[in-house]
Amino acid sequence: MALAAYLASAVVYGGSLLERRVLTARFGAGLMLVALGIHTFYYLFRWVADVDIPSVDVYDTISFFAWAMAASYLALQLRTKTRVLGAFVAPVISVLMVIASIDLGGSVAGSAALKGTLVIIHVMLSVAGEALFAVASLAGVMYLIQDRLLRKKRDRTLIHLLPSLHDLDRINYICLFWGFSLLTLGILAGSFWARIVWGSHWQWDSKQVWTLLAWGFYAFLLHQRLAIGWQGRKAARWSLLAFVALLLLFILESFLFRSAHTFM
């Protein structure tokens, strides 16, 4: 049901771009809110049934990533006039939910090293942080599109439909700041758990190395925004580059290296 509602939201958001109407985008936001409500109810139902949320497997990780993207984007809508950004966010969430609905492999919850409250906290914080990075990159993409339209003075109808550059840059910053904060807390939780089960905070595990590289990339980007004053086009481009790097690191680690974090 959540997947169906997310797909309907993506279709309506796409229609808002074709019709050039913000009202249609508002309806899309309403559908995304319904989808998020169903998705949240699913997790509450599992919590009542005493099932770990999320379990340590591919399905739950991707599903929770989609949930975090939807929740963070809708929360940001309350502070910014960026409803049309959902035309970029909703399709990504829908694709993630479709992938999460495919049998990608069994859970590794049977591993003693991957059981415990700290593991769940580690997964939820880390995935939520990465979901915020995804929203930041999408805001960056829309910023670059809007900025190009304004500079070229093309398609004024679309220019008036898309969010302001100020709001898009603000979303980019908010998502980077909170995404980095959540990822940092997630890494710390995972480090404490590694100390408990393996006797050391650091194991030179490929997932740990990949995560440290991604953390360092985003630490650099956030430093440039806060200390150097990066904003606008430069911040948008680097947030997109950072997320592409995050995806590449994840793909390389998943297919080329063995890891204690392997889910399938």
Q: What is the pLDDT of residue 203?
A: 67
Residue 21 lies in a domain: yes
Residue 264 lies in a domain: no
CB atoms within 10 A of CB 92: 20
Q: Do 141 and 82 meet the contact criterion of CB atoms below 8 Å apart?
A: no
Residue 80 lies in a domain: yes
Domain extent at residue 147: 2-256
* C-alpha to C-alpha distance for 158 and 217, rounded to whole angstroms: 33
Residue 262 lies in a domain: no
Q: What is the pLDDT of residue 112?
A: 56
* C-alpha to C-alpha distance for 45 and 238, rounded to whole angstroms: 39
Q: Do 161 and 17 meet the contact criterion of CB atoms below 8 Å apart?
A: yes
Spell out the long-range contacts of 249-255 with Cβ–Cβ below 8 A and sequence spacing 24 or more.
249/210, 249/213, 249/214, 250/210, 252/210, 253/206, 253/207, 253/209, 253/210
Alpha helices in the chain (DSSP H): 2-19, 22-48, 58-77, 86-100, 117-152, 156-161, 165-198, 206-223, 232-256
If one counts the domains in the chain, the total is 1
Residue 130 lies in a domain: yes
Q: What is the pLDDT along the chain (264 residues), one digit of tens a residue?
A: 999 999 999 999 888 887 777 778 888 889 999 999 999 998 888 777 765 555 566 778 888 999 999 999 999 888 777 888 888 999 999 999 998 888 655 444 445 556 667 788 888 899 999 999 999 999 999 999 888 888 877 666 666 677 788 888 999 999 999 999 999 999 888 888 777 766 666 666 777 778 888 888 899 999 898 888 888 888 899 988 888 888 887 777 666 655 555 544
Residue 261 lies in a domain: no
- Dihedral Cα 74, 79, 83, 88, nearest 10 deg: -60
Of 53, 41, 160, nearest to 109 by C-alpha is 53
Residue 263 lies in a domain: no
Residue 92 lies in a domain: yes
